[in-house]
Amino acid sequence: MTGTAPQHTDVEGVDGGVGLTALLVAAARTIETHRDDSLARDAYAEHFVRAAPACADWPVRIEQVPDGDGDPLWGRFARYFGLRTRVLDDFLLRSVRTGPRQVVLLGAGLDTRALRLNWPSGCTVFEIDRAGVLEFKHRVLTDLAAIPKAKRVAVPADLRTDWVSALTGAGFDLAAPSVWLAEGLLFYLPGPAETHVIDTVDKLTAKGSALAFEAKLEKDLLAYHDSPIYTATREQIGIDLLHLFDKGPRPDSAGALRAKGWSTSMYTPFDFTRRHGHGPLPEPNDALEGNRWVFAHKPRP
């Protein structure tokens, strides 16, 4: 849920158009940042949370949560977001080291990778999201006098409209390889809209490009309606994720990319929990069971 549905449309108008899901992920990154065994650190995330009255009483440290890691929302779910952040950070940095210098964040939300990652020289990070989200982010970062570590280009656009013109108009080079990220975005979209996004990325990318996205298995989208994660998120902060997920058939986007010549690999979050030694592991009635992280590469000639 860094991206929106298609860009944090769960609570329109909250704090200048920023949805609660964007703030939830920022709060989770804040908790992760303050952990002694943190997998990812985001010094800016807490400032977003503090700037939004809607989450004034949300915790920003695990010590502020009565049940600590036993809390389904601020413990397990927040740890999941911390793990996801680390895994996708690593993917982006690994990808740009092979040559691409353009990074596109679809439904960027309150993502701060342009500021906190150590990018190679010459990198540009395009952040596509609704104007209200980007304006809120700009306001907070300006107050902090934050300096990005790559050229950061805000692209105000809704993924349901002509975002391609906005991206190319902002300087995206169709002839150069690029790296794309759709984090926590696609399963909020109707299936045809997801297919359109994937097809568009394929059309906009040169050989040597890469894409990472998060998907949910169709059979698991509603299978865990009483999962503690969903229940706690709804009851504690008023976000009903099951209401936000699109309930229509899900496309096989990884298969579609393979058919277009991309190579793909797919993992569960638990694969990376075992690799890093921190993060969620499977539990009964587990809402994370169907989450998949897909990494795709468009081969060079």
Pairing of strands 102-106, 263-267: unpaired
Q: What 3-state DSSP class applies to 82?
A: helix
The residue written with tokens 């496309």 in the block is: 251
pLDDT of residue 138: 96
Give the pLDDT confidence of 238-283 residue by residue, as tens digits.
999 988 998 899 999 999 999 999 999 999 999 999 999 999 999 9
Find residue 212's DSSP bridge partners.
181, 295
Q: How far is CA 230 from CA 72, 136, 238, 280, in A?
A: 9, 27, 10, 15
pLDDT of residue 100: 98
pLDDT of residue 55: 93
Question: In angstroms, rounded to a whole number, what is the distance separating the alpha carbons of residues 112 and 105?
Answer: 10
Instruction: State the sign of the Cα–Cα–Cα–Cα dihedral 142, 148, 154, 160.
Output: negative
pLDDT of residue 18: 55
Cis peptide before 120 (omega within 30 of 0): no
Q: Which domains occur in the chain, in start order?
A: 9-297 (3.40.50.150)
Question: In angstroms, rounded to a whole number, what is the distance separating the alpha carbons of residues 266 and 280?
Answer: 18
Give the pLDDT confidence of 209-239 residue by residue, as tens digits.
999 999 998 887 778 889 999 999 999 999 9
Question: In angstroms, rounded to a whole number, what is the distance separating the alpha carbons of residues 189 and 1?
Answer: 12
Give the pLDDT confidence of 1-49 residue by residue, as tens digits.
444 433 333 334 444 445 889 999 999 999 999 999 999 999 999 999 9
Q: 246: closest CA among 191, 199, 203?
A: 191
Q: What is the dihedral of CA 278, 85, 25, 21, to 10 degrees?
A: -120
Question: In angstroms, rounded to a whole number, what is the distance separating the alpha carbons of residues 57 and 15?
Answer: 15
pLDDT of residue 7: 35
